[in-house]
Amino acid sequence: MDGLRNSEYRHLEVNRIAGSLGAEVSGVDLSQDLPEAVLSEIRKALLDNLVIFFRDQRLTPPTQLAFARRWGEIHLHPYMAGMDDYPEVLEIRKTPADKKNFGGSWHSDQAFTAKPAMGTILYGVEIPSAGGDTLWTNQYLAYETLSPGMRRMLDGLKGVYRGDNFSSHDGKTRREYYADKISMKVIDPGDTQTISTHPLVRTHPETGRKALFVGGHLHRFEDMTEAESRPLIDFLMQHATRPEFTCRFRWRSGSLAFWDNRCTMHFAINDYPAETRIMHRVTICGDTPF
């Protein structure tokens, strides 16, 4: 199967890591100014596999940003401060002193903004000796495996997505929730839109496939209360993260993941309490879900 898939590529080697999504890509140095033919094959690998992984890269914040800019405008996180010298790069840092990790729940990046992120590029700088893996889940499959009746109902629903969706934590804001738990700097989003309404089932603008659009930012359904919405949200989250829809990536320093937020969710596992994990994240702007 992998040999058949690799026959579609002239410049890359692409090998799947799980049955549902995810592939390792080799034969490319992402620090270089890549020709359009190589970028076209990387795009194909991303659309086919939803998340792609590159090993043994040697990236600096400028070269990571240069690669990311080939895919679109860079998104600034409205709640978390970027690096001092490179504000478009979010340094995701967890040390033994931190009680909470960043991204430790199932979510799609920036789902609460008017135009959620198209993609995210995450680079491993310092990796624990064990642990700190990331999970992804295929939201095409999550939608396609629902019953016909459930799909018909969801096709007409819209969700309200909130950046500060911490209702399960005594209604705390993001700043209050992370206080004394994480060493990353939480900032005021100012006038950035952090509550948005989107279709619960979105159509991928490049593949045309429908995907479930849920995650930790989903607060309730439009025209419904949170209490009315919660049972269905809980069911959909449990369904969307079934093991057979997922892949798991073991990080090494120099590894890079590039994923499509339009059809995946991801989860950063917090299982390295005595060690440090440092990642550099760049997020690419997307468009309005439909």
- Report if residue 213 sits inside a domain: yes
Specify whether 198 is catalytic.
Answer: no
> Residue 1: its pLDDT value, please?
37
Among the listed residues 107, 97, 184, 95, the one whose alpha carbon sits nearest the alpha carbon of residue 132: 95
Query: Identity (one letter) of the amino acid at 235?
Result: F
Distance CA 146, CA 25 (A): 31
Q: What is the pLDDT of residue 165?
A: 78
Residue 113 sits in which domain range?
2-284
Query: For the domain that residue 55 is a member of, what is the CATH number?
Result: 3.60.130.10
Domains contained in the chain, number? 1
Whether 34 is in a domain gets the answer yes
Confirm whether 290 is domain-assigned. Answer: no
69 within some domain: yes
Active site residue 281: yes
Catalytic residue among 75, 77, 93, 107: 107
- In sign, the C-alpha dihedral spanning 164, 256, 17, 11 is positive
Whether 104 contacts 227, CB under 8 Å = no
Tokens standing for residue 267: 């989860």
Residues 6+ apart with CB under 8 A from 20: 137, 138, 141, 244, 245, 246, 247
Longest pairwise C-alpha distance within the chain: 54
- Beta partners for 14? 25
3-state secondary structure of 105: coil
Whether residue 247 is contained in a domain is answered as yes
- The verdict on residue 100 lying in a domain is yes
Query: Quick check: is 278 in a domain?
Result: yes
Q: Where are the beta strands (DSSP E) in the chain?
A: 13-16, 23-26, 51-54, 74-75, 90-94, 119-126, 134-138, 158-162, 195-199, 201-203, 210-212, 218-221, 246-249, 256-260, 264-268, 277-284
Question: What was the pLDDT predicted at 182?
Answer: 82
Determine the Cα angle at 87 with ends 85 and 92, to 5°.
100
pLDDT for the residue 2: 44
Cα–Cα distances in Å, from 86 out to 63, 103, 161, 257?
11, 21, 28, 20
Give the model's pLDDT for residue 178.
Answer: 72
Q: pTM to 2 decimals?
A: 0.93
What pLDDT, on a 0 to 100 scale, did the predictor assign at position 257?
98
In a domain, 289, yes or no: no
Residue 159 has a pLDDT of: 98
Provide the residue-wise pLDDT of the chain in tens; the chain has 290 residues.
344 446 689 999 999 999 999 999 999 999 999 999 999 999 999 999 999 999 999 999 999 999 999 999 999 999 999 999 999 999 999 999 998 899 999 999 999 999 999 999 999 999 999 999 999 999 999 999 999 999 999 999 999 999 987 654 566 677 776 776 788 999 989 999 999 999 999 999 999 999 999 999 999 999 999 999 999 999 999 999 999 999 999 999 999 999 999 999 999 999 999 999 999 999 999 999 99
How far is residue 120's CA from residue 265's CA, in Å, rounded to a whole number? 11
Is 77 marked active-site?
no
CA separation for the pair 279, 122 (Å, rounded): 7
pLDDT of residue 171: 61
**From the candidates 98, 109, 164, 260, which is the catalytic residue?**
109
- Given the residues 262, 266, 277, 280, the one annotated as active site: 266
Would residue 242 show up in a list of annotated catalytic residues for this protein? Answer: no
